[in-house]
Amino acid sequence: MHYPAHGANAESLYQMLGLKVPETIIDLSENVNPAGVPQSVRQAWTSMIDAVSHYPNEQAEPFRSQAAQFHQVIPEQVIAGNGAAECLMVLACYFSGKTVGLVEPSFSEYRRTLLQEKVQVEQILVDDICTYRFSTEKLKKQMAKLDALYLCNPNNPTGVLTSKLQIEELLEYGRKVECAIVVDEAFMDWTDEVESVIPLVSKYENLIVLRSMTKMYALAGIRLGYIISQRAQQFAGLFPHWNVSGVAIQLGCLCLQEHLYTEDARQHSAKMRRDITEFLQEYRCEVSNSSANFLLFKLPAIYHPDFFFAYLLKRGVVLRHTKNYTGLDGKWFRVALKRPEQMNIFKQVLKEYVQNN
């Protein structure tokens, strides 16, 4: 059975599985902020019509400079992309013909984009899923044979946060063996940012950080991401001209000012995370130690994951399957943390499944 490669594609999922689409769907497979776009974006939306008629700035200014100021780096260390997805394609092109290690399970687009550019991919499985624990020494031995290592922090799909100290140890070693470290921080803005490695960019030439505006600010339909690195200008020629739209540039600038909005989102996510974790543990599920706006869980072995997934789909609750996550093999599910009323429906349907099976 073929499953969609990503979440946020509920209709295609139902079609592929041959299931009737319910009248109401709660899509917990995508991790976009349930609050929707900030109010400042709604208020400014109609005034952005003029940007549609003009070519955007090729360096995505003034967003690039404002993002640099936001992260306290210099503008030359920032390069913007048409979503983090385009940035991943550019990085794959940059490492074309080389060898890259992936700490798994992790975002499936790393492997897809790298293989597309004929990169040799080496997988390194973590020692424990719920804590996303891995041996730094074991990783160093692998790095000696790699041109780059990809880390997702917080990890997708577990939501687990790796400490900046542990990543810096890898950066130090990577500098010795000429191994770059790509740290995808697409969900870092759901944390207090303490473990972000962006403050290390000026110190380590081999550090490449990827950020996304999609999840926190609900800009999935706009597409805006960026890379922060001393190597940023080396990537510039790999992007197409005018790759970031004028509308995206303006929206990005507005969103970087939304400090209260992001703090509210973090607090809501933390509250939902505690609630859903406690609920799942009551039903003897294994639950990841997430710091993001989603978490990963696995039902007790007596329940068949495919039957559970189908049961929820028939009742309009869509989880993110893990069929295409290395090391998870469809036995785990990722659930986004949405509005309380949506999470209550998820809890009720899971409770019904357990009672009926």
Q: Grade residue 1 by pLDDT with cuts at 50, 70 and 90.
A: low
pLDDT tens for 73-86 read 999 999 999 999 99
Q: What is the number of other CB atoms lying within 10 angstroms of the CB of residue 336? A: 28
Angle among Cα 227, 85, 219 to the nearest 5 degrees reads 90
pLDDT of residue 5: 54
Q: Describe the crossing of helices 164-177 and 136-143 by its angle, rounded to 10 degrees.
A: 30
Cis peptide before 62 (omega within 30 of 0): yes
pLDDT tens for 61-70 read 999 999 999 9
Give CB contacts under 8 A, 24+ apart, made by 271-275.
272/337, 272/338, 272/340, 272/343, 273/337, 275/343
pLDDT of 6 strictly over 70: no
pLDDT tens for 22-71 read 888 999 999 999 999 999 999 999 998 888 899 999 999 999 999 999 99
pLDDT tens for 160-210 read 999 999 999 999 999 999 999 999 999 999 999 999 999 999 999 999 999
- Run of H or E residues at 53: none
User: What is the three-class DSSP state of 304?
Assistant: coil
List of domains in the chain: 10-30+260-356 (3.90.1150.10), 39-257 (3.40.640.10)
Give the whole-angstrom CA distance, residue 185 versus residue 200: 13
pLDDT of 8 strictly over 60: no
pLDDT of residue 4: 55
Give the whole-angstrom CA distance, residue 337 versus residue 276: 8
pLDDT of residue 14: 76
Among 26, 5, 42, 10, residue whose Cα is nearest residue 251 = 42
Per-chain mean pLDDT for the chain: 94
Comparison of pLDDT for 21 and 87, the residue scoring more: 87
- Chain-centre distance of CA 11, in angstroms? 22
pLDDT of 15 strictly over 90: no
Name residue 211's beta-bridge partners: 226
pLDDT tens for 99-148 read 999 999 999 999 999 999 999 999 999 999 999 999 999 999 999 999 99
pLDDT tens for 151-162 read 999 999 999 999
